Chain A
Amino acid sequence: MNIFRRKRPQGERIETQWSMALRRFRKDKMAMTGVVIFLFILLVAVVQTTVNPSGWNTLSNDYYQAPSSHHIFGTTSAGLDLFSACLKGALQDLIVALVVSSMSMILGTIVGAIAGYFGGMLDAVLMRLVDLLLVVPLLTILIVMSNLFQNSSNSPLFIALLIGFLSWTGLSRLVRAEFLALRERPFVEASIALGASSWRVITRHLIPNAIGTIMVNTTLTVSGAILLESTLSFLGLGIVPPAVSLGMLVQEGQGAATTSPWEFLFPAGLLLIIVLCIFAIGDGMQAAFDPRNARRKK
């Protein structure tokens, strides 16, 4: 982030917000474990899908194989290699989560910034809009919406856009609260007094100071998005065949959970591990950016 680069005297070490957070984050064992496991899964998934790009939708003659060296996660009753399918599904989930969290980050920051900085009528209108979206639980709206559009298009990207379009409300409230507090601070008043435009104040002073909140919330949105998407897919409303996702694999594997447990356990376990990793990362970031208000107090 270039915003933080300032000219400074040679040899003098200044600890920026980022380096301080990074230092704290590196010391956090739980978060670092999360990072390592997450990167490992990501690496394996990328390698697997590039080496064997059609493995996840090719049916072989090995039906109902228990996990072995040939099929690491076993196969389904239709002869689908679960290892490829799970990793492809995990990648799909992560792509969805990436789209959701970036949408939520952008929308949430913009709405929160406008509401918090300008205040007045604009604030009231935007916050009522947020209230409107919060009045009905997110899962319920998503069920209605994905049912509505099921016939026309139910591509993973569409589901991602749908979730992303509805999940920025939490961040916008946080950003607004942060901006309300920051706006009163002397350095912001000073820069307004010096004639800085609203745009400059927001992008140069307010957003950099709220970046911790934004980053942490975005990371937590990733895990939230994966959970939501997999729940929708489990209900048969999210990602549907021919695409593949972990929630869908769990749903398909549940019927065989007692006879061939790998069909259920591997997708569910992978889903759990991924969400757990992202959770640990988000929590570690929260502790690193804002040690005083971290949820997990040491």
Chain B
Amino acid sequence: MVKSGGRKPPAFYFAVRKSSPVCYLDRVLKYIFRRLVSSLLVLWVATIGVFVMVAYSGDPLFDLKMNPTTSPKTILVREHQLFLDRPLPWRYWHWIDNLFHGNLGLDMSNVAVRPQLFIHMVVTLRMVVLAFVLAVVIAVSLGVLAALRRGGFTDRGITFTTFFFLATPVFVTGLFLKFYVAIPLYRYFGHQIFATTGAASPLASGSFFHRIPDYVAHLTLPTVTLILAVFSSWTIYQRSSILETMNLDHVMLARSKGIKPRRVLMRHILRNALIPVTTVLALDFAGLLGGAVVTETVYSWNGLGRWFLEGASKQDLNITLAYLLFTAVLVIMFNLLADIAYGFLDPRIRYR
């Protein structure tokens, strides 16, 4: 997604200087508590909105009703099973009630949603977490490199590359890697180097360690796709953050004291430049899930994204709600983490 400008410091900025560590911790906890309460409120309103939206949309039993062989009794039974014969507030209350008992309801084929959510989550998070970590490493190194070689050939090359990948839709990258990397490699070597369908071979057996090569073959291309989708905006951000820090007084002082350039970079520039980047990274983690939906579609992974896509196309209320709840909780969690991390990394920031 397109980002513009730097991230504004969060609202708890520049409060009174802390008087004691206990007081500080107290303030942080209070801040976290307040943020949690308001986040939960937003989350609650969001569930109502989504619930009404999905429930008032098409008829989940449309296909069944269109089938001439279905008896009216079957339809009534299904309606009763899916609570379609109940009023909407009742259905919402039922869902919320179940939610507090850790139960996300049944999907359209009467399978419990929660175990499905966890199974698919493990598949998706494998890819997302790996891509996130690698993309961070790549973005930080490229950003530093570009900033150090500012204006030079390397810098221009990196800038152009980042712009190129920023403009490339995820599905184009994914399809390109699939058709013009994996398949030619397969043709050249005569056996599969990178797998293009699924998260693991369906017939793979043996212990976890024996299946690692299989996992790697399946994981590589989707992960690369996701990395290419996210690393560019982070690189641009890292580069400008380094450039801003490089001109600060304390860096000049360190240089004029005769500290080695490498040490100045690591200790004085990078440490400060990473602070704003951290928050951007945390905020984008949730956005990675959106990219994962597309990546999973391209590589036919049976992860959260595809599960959600299929559920949404069948107008399966419980699957859609479970997925949206999952992403919303992640977004809120990472927003909060980003704000807290901001305060911990930069001691000038005080929680109010």
Q: Closest approach, in angstroms, between the C-beta of A146 and any C-beta of chain B?
A: 9
Contacts of A223 in B (CB 8 A): 2, 167
Interface flags for A274-298 (1: CB within 8 Å of B; 0: not) read 0110011011001000000101111
Contacts of B185 in A (CB 8 A): none
Q: Say whether A135 contacts B6, CB under 8 Å.
A: no
* Nearest CB in chain A to that of B297: its residue: A235
Known interface pairs A148-B53, A258-B179, A264-B179. Does A234 touch B169 (Cβ–Cβ under 8 Å)?
yes
Interface size on B, residues (CB 8 A): 59
Contacts of B240 in A (CB 8 A): 295-297
**Chain B facing A: main interface SS:** helix
Known interface pairs A132-B42, A272-B172, A293-B6. Does A140 touch B290 (Cβ–Cβ under 8 Å)?
yes
Query: Which A residues between 217 and 233 are near B, CB-CB below 8 angstroms?
Result: 217, 220-221, 223-224, 227, 230-231
Q: Closest approach, in angstroms, between the C-beta of A143 and any C-beta of chain B?
A: 6
Query: CB within 8 A of B42: which of A128, A251, A297, A298?
Result: A128
Interface flags for B248-275 (1: CB within 8 Å of A; 0: not) read 0000000000000000000000000000
Q: Say whether A144 contacts B49, CB under 8 Å.
A: no
A131 CA to B35 CA, complexed, in Å: 12
A151 within 8 A of B: yes
Q: Closest approach, in angstroms, between the C-beta of A55 and any C-beta of chain B?
A: 24
A298 CA to B309 CA, complexed, in Å: 43
Among B38, B163, B239, B243, the one with the most A-chain Cβ atoms within 10 Å of its Cβ is B163
Q: Closest approach, in angstroms, between the C-beta of B249 and any C-beta of chain A?
A: 18
Interface size on A, residues (CB 8 A): 56
B46 within 8 A of A: yes
Contacts of A174 in B (CB 8 A): 4-5
B15 within 8 A of A: no
Q: Closest approach, in angstroms, between the C-beta of B202 and any C-beta of chain A?
A: 22
A residues with a Cβ closer than 8 A to B are: 128, 131-132, 134-140, 143-145, 147-151, 170, 174, 177, 213, 216-217, 220-221, 223-224, 227, 230-231, 234-235, 247, 250-251, 254, 257-258, 261, 264, 268, 271-272, 275-276, 279-280, 282-283, 286, 293, 295-298
Contacts A136-B328, A139-B290 aside, 16 further interface pairs with beta carbons under 8 A come to A135-B46, A135-B331, A137-B286, A137-B290, A138-B290, A139-B293, A140-B323, A140-B327, A143-B309, A144-B50, A144-B320, A149-B57, A235-B293, A268-B176, A272-B172, A293-B5
